[in-house]
A and B are shown apart, each in its own frame.
Chain A
Amino acid sequence: MTGYFKRKAEEYRALDQLDRRRYWVDGLLNNALYILMAVFIIFTAVVNKNFLSASSIANVVILAAASLPMALGIGGCIVLTGTDLSGGRVFGLTAAMAAAFLQNRMATKLIFEHLPNTTGAWIFAVLVIVMLAGAVIGLVNGFFVAKFSLHPFIVTLATQLITYGIILMFFQINGNGGGPISNVAQEFKNVVSGPVIRIASKNVSIPWYVIYAFLLVIVMWFVWNKTTFGKNMFAVGSNAEAARVSGVNVFKTTVMVHTLAGALYGFAGFVEAARLGSITAATGLNNECDAIAACVIGGVSFVGGTGNIGGIVVGVFVLRIIFVALNMLGINPNLQFIIKGAIILAACSLDMRKYLVRK
């Protein structure tokens, strides 16, 4: 560690006046977002002592675990220089499906009358069903992006609207009339949002889905770094033309990235159904914005071909910490959207600056 700093110091001494100035400007601007966040977090901790309590930290971890799957999915689309605006709605649809398929069979108002009892096998089957449903929408996205070279912003905007239409119709099934889908079976809640670790003295309870999110991060790290698919994804993202020439199937890779993203939104929706226990047609609205912001904060660049899973995890945590902090400061929730927008704008400007400097 000391060797590293010594080497850095020597490098710095070798620079001339202009390069030294550049060194500081680069260092400050590249880390500006993190510096600003650090100041903000220290401020929050000073104002509200509860911010650093065990239950508050656990709260950040739990919220981050719930939003990680979506960010991991969208990350792949951003690596391909695209994005996915349909994410939030796919999340909402799959959450509604999971809730409807796993309602308490004893409840009076059911979306589907004839379904198996809530056994472990049926819960797993529903997980597969909702992930497939998400994957199908992802497949449509990927197909249009890859086949017709349409910009992902446009294609996924279209599927976002289509999916919302499907959501609204789904909420009309069996005379539901657009009301929330609730009465989620307790067995389902137990295996997803039930506590796995509980420390009563500290008022901390970690649900199962934190473990699932952790496993998912490992799986996605493996997919991105150790598989041919992952390597192709980065190749297509950094230069699709070059990737095509060197024998990468750009079409297949693009379709697969979007399909995988859709399946991950399905997983996130499945967790959300158990987490909230009551899903409305508005569930998931704008969730893709959070995921995109987390990815850009975490260094997944819109230039394409750059980014890593660790960065996404950091980005998700940074974003969650900010929102828990805002809540703890008693900030009007409506103002949080303005801050979110400003964060995306700042993160994107810094990302673009990095690209221009490199060029």
Chain B
Amino acid sequence: MSGEKKPEPPGVLGKPGGLYDSVHMTRRQADLLALGAIALLAVVLALVLLFGRGGFTVSFDPNGGTDAAPCQVQYGETVPLPEDPSREGYAFTGWYTDDGCTEPWDPMGPVTDNLTLYAGWEKTA
């Protein structure tokens, strides 16, 4: 007996069926389970496509002018720009993608993410 190696316990890694070693199921049950899981995934996808298409939020920062309501835009579509805001003593110069009003927003450009547009103003007399 001396010198003979003690057999190691089989442990988790010893199971030939891996994670499913202790699963006992008939073929029919396995078919049904797989079918059910696929159906669940299909239903989730369908529900998400039906009700989850919120699109992206485009908000407008009037920068001191009259408020404009935010809107939802689907990917790749253009922003339905609101009526030009107004501000006492200023002229509206357009919408910009940064609050410093250096990058003008292209009205024909597609929306690819949530977006905030800033109103640009120029002082009049």
Give me the interface of A with B, judged by CB distance under 8 Å.
Answer: 25, 29, 32-33, 36, 40, 43, 48-50, 80-82, 145-146, 149-152, 236-241, 244, 250, 254, 301-305, 326-332, 335, 338-339, 342-343, 345-346, 348-350, 352-353, 355-357, 359
Contacts and interface: CB of A to CB of B under 8 A. Distances in A.
10 contacts: A29-B34, A29-B35, A33-B38, A81-B12, A250-B13, A305-B18, A345-B40, A346-B38, A350-B38, A352-B34
9 smallest CB-CB distances across A and B, nearest first, come from A149-B11, A81-B18, A349-B37, A304-B18, A302-B19, A330-B55, A353-B34, A240-B13, A346-B37
Interface stretch (B42-50, B60-68, B90-98, B101-109): B42-50
B81 interface: no
A50 B76 contact: yes
Contacts of A356: 20, 23, 25, 27, 30
A79 to B, nearest CB: 10
A339 B44 contact: yes
B71 interface: no
B18 A330 contact: no
A241 B38 contact: no
Interface residues of B, number: 41
Contact of A82 (B13, B31, B55, B110): B13
Interface in B1-52: 8-20, 23, 25, 27, 30-31, 33-38, 40-42, 44-45, 48-49, 52
B87 interface: no
A68 B70 CA distance: 38
A151 B34 contact: no
Contacts, number: 139
B48 A301 contact: no
B13 A352 contact: no
B54 interface: yes
A236 B45 CA distance: 38
A22 to B, nearest CB: 9
Given A36-B45, A332-B52, 6 more contacts: A145-B12, A149-B12, A330-B54, A342-B45, A353-B30, A353-B31
A43 B45 CA distance: 12
A145 B13 contact: yes
A43 B20 CA distance: 35
A341 B31 CA distance: 20
Contacts of B13: 80-82, 145-146, 149, 236, 240, 250, 254
Contacts of B20: 302-303, 352, 355-356
A355 B34 contact: no
Given A29-B31, A339-B48, A353-B30, A328 B75 contact: yes
Contacts of B16: 238-239, 241, 304
B106 to A, nearest CB: 14
A302 B12 contact: no
Given A81-B15, A149-B9, A150-B12, A29 B55 contact: no
Contact of B34 (A32, A236, A359): A32
Nearest to A359: B17
Contacts of B18: 81, 237, 301-305, 355
Q: Which interface residue of B23, B41, B56 has the most chain A CB atoms within 10 A? A: B41
B12 A331 contact: no
